[in-house]
Amino acid sequence: MGPKAYKFAEFLAEAEATYWQVLPLGHTAPEYDDSPYSALSMLAGNPPLISLDKAARDGLLTRTPPRCQATDRADYEAAWRIKTRYLEAAFEERRNWRDFEEFAARNSWWLEPYGRYVALREAYGATWTRWPKELRGAHLPEKLGRRALFYQYVQYVFWSQWLDLKRHVNNLGIFIIGDLPIYPAHDSVDVWEGRRYFKLAPDGTPLYLSGVPPDYFSPTGQLWGTPVYDWDAMRQDRYAWWARRLRRLLEVFDYIRLDHFRGYAAYWEVPYGEETAVRGRWAPGPGEELFKAVEDNLPRLIAEDLGYITPDVVELRRRLGIPGMRVLQFAWDGNPANEHKPHNYERNLVAYTGTHDNNTVVGWWREEASPRARREALAYMGGCRREINWCFIRLLLSTAADVAIVPIQDVLGLGAEARINKPATPRGNWKWRLPSQPPPAHARRLRRLAKLYGR
């Protein structure tokens, strides 16, 4: 969230972009490959993303932060080892303490449980079901209480930096699209504190795990490993737990992408202990009733309606009036009725060349696309002399979809080495990072295409 993030925002402004979409910003853990969809909190920011340069400019640091070499792979553990020393010093010296106390008072409902959770996890390990029972409540020994307060302070630094960046981005005429994972991780303060809202055994272990049945990405389905909601318990509280989290995220983002939207109509639950997602079952979700709890915020939501989509999912999205998603890489199956083919796009959509779960366009073209898919795509586009990524970008921007999102890897024409995530693989994901700023020529090229197609 330091100088490079501000420069990237200026690249987007030069391209006359309207939106910057980001992955979830939650506090990730190395045990889960630092996946933002397996975070320790849905609401706490990821401490390694804090900028020491920004902290120094804000008067939090007494020492000059180190200069680190830019790489194209993130090392979250190493980054946090460096940054924690500086933030601990700022905490001990009570830097910006009055501002911190005001932040803590406004956010106490999620911040205090988060601080306790991370301090206990640091002391007793990653599985809260094995923690001493007397330490699972609100009162901690003095040493742990001090550590919990430190992590609250870290969140003050994180969200102060994020909101400064967001103000800069908004002042450039750009809106930020955030992301709400449908489920929190079992190893999270959200489940630990909200146990009654999940299908858990008395000892806290899940009765069912989330996932999806066999699909495009995996013949055995995807077993995500997170517990599923007890929607009946949520309903009894008028969905206050869920609505409160969504409203909080809409304070720090302009729009929110709802991950796995089909799970709100019906979700796939797999008995605990299964090794794959094959032996699961569909269970009814809350449907429209849930969204009535946040009705005023519906215009700021986007539905990730990919995968196995049934008519009830389509009908739910349309009743709510929120846009769905289309992905250009999914279009080339020989079926003219394929909803991902551009001639089938409606206006109320957000269209992508690919998402964080896809290969890059160049990587897909080289390594995954079948000869038939390549022939069909070329015929559809009327050929492509060079730079398949830019041919896809041009096609995407020419569609009727109200919004078109292009991953920065596709703007740069990067291959499979720049892929963010490969579903159903537990390791090696979420580490790619942009080591240097995109060339200005790319911004000009995006701007010309946007103007050509009236975007």
| Residue 73 CB coordination number (10 Å) | 10
> Would you say 50 and 158 are in contact if contact means Cβ atoms under 8 Å apart?
yes
User: Is 357 one of the annotated active-site residues of the chain?
Assistant: yes
**Which member of 179, 304, 305, 376 is catalytic?**
304
DSSP state letters, 82-111: HHHHHHHHHHHTTTTHHHHHHHHHHTHHHH
φ, ψ dihedrals at 425, nearest 5°: -115, 125
360 three-state secondary structure: coil
To which H or E segment does residue 165 belong?
helix 142-171
Determine the Cα–Cα distance for residues 192 and 446; give it in Å rounded to an integer: 45
Q: Which helix (H) or strand (E) holds 36?
A: none
Closest CA to 182 of 223, 242, 241: 242
Sign of the torsion formed by the C-alpha atoms of 228, 231, 232 and 234: positive
Q: Is 259 a catalytic residue?
A: yes
Q: Is-contact 246 306, C-beta < 8 A?
A: no
Active site residue 312: no
- Whether residue 214 contacts residue 269, with contact meaning beta carbons closer than 8 Å, is answered with no
| Sign, Cα dihedral of 328, 333, 334, 336 | negative
| Closest listed residue to residue 158, CA positions, set 235, 43, 270, 20 | 43
| Cβ–Cβ under 8 Å, residues 201 and 207 | yes
Handedness of CA 71, 175, 354, 182 (dihedral sign): positive
Cα separation, 407 vs 245, in Å, equals 27
Percentages (nearest 5) of helix, strand, coil residues in the chain: 45, 10, 40
Nearest to 92 by CA among 44, 47, 154: 154
- Token pair, residue 301, equals 């939501």
Sequence-ordered strand ranges (E) for 321-367: 324-327, 349-352
**Active-site entry in 10, 259, 312, 339:** 259
Catalytic one among 230, 357, 376, 410? Answer: 357
In sequence order, the β-bridge partners of residue 324 are: 349
Q: How far is 119 from 418, CA to CA, in rounded Å?
A: 34
Q: Sign of torsion, CA 378 383 387 391?
A: negative
In 3-state terms, what secondary structure has residue 122? helix
The torsion region of residue 442 among left (phi > 0), alpha (psi -120 to 50) and beta comes to alpha
Active site residues: 259, 304, 357
